[in-house]
Structure 1
């Protein structure tokens, strides 16, 4: 995270990640951010039993 900055996306307050240099890999940071967003916005009920269809 020390080598990443944020950039605004649209006018709703959303943001994206920018890397500070050409040799910086921010893909793990982006992946973690997207996973966290998915956890916050999921509508899945973890107590619901799911069945596999064959």
Structure 2
């Protein structure tokens, strides 16, 4: 994360990651960011009981 910068996307406050060098891999950071966003915005009902199929 030390070798990344952010860039603004649109006017709503959204941002994206930019890498500071050409040999930097930011895919793990992007993956974690998208997973966290998905966890925050999920519409899953936490009271609903789910069954696992074997």
TM range (shorter): 0.7 to 0.9
Gaps of 5+ in 2: none
In structure 1, distance between residues paired with 2:4 and 2:45: 34
Aligned residues: 52
Give 1:7 shift.
Answer: 0.1
2:32 equivalent in structure 1: 32
Indicate whether 1:49 and 2:49 are aligned.
Answer: yes
What TM-score, normalized by structure 1, do the two folds share? 0.87
Give 1:45 shift.
Answer: 1.4
Give 1:47 shift.
Answer: 2.6
Give 1:51 shift.
Answer: 5.0
Runs of 4+ in structure 1 displaced over 4 angstroms? Answer: none
Give 1:5 shift.
Answer: 0.4
Q: CA RMSD in A?
A: 1.3
In structure 1, distance between residues paired with 2:51 and 2:27: 34
Gaps of 5+ in 1: none
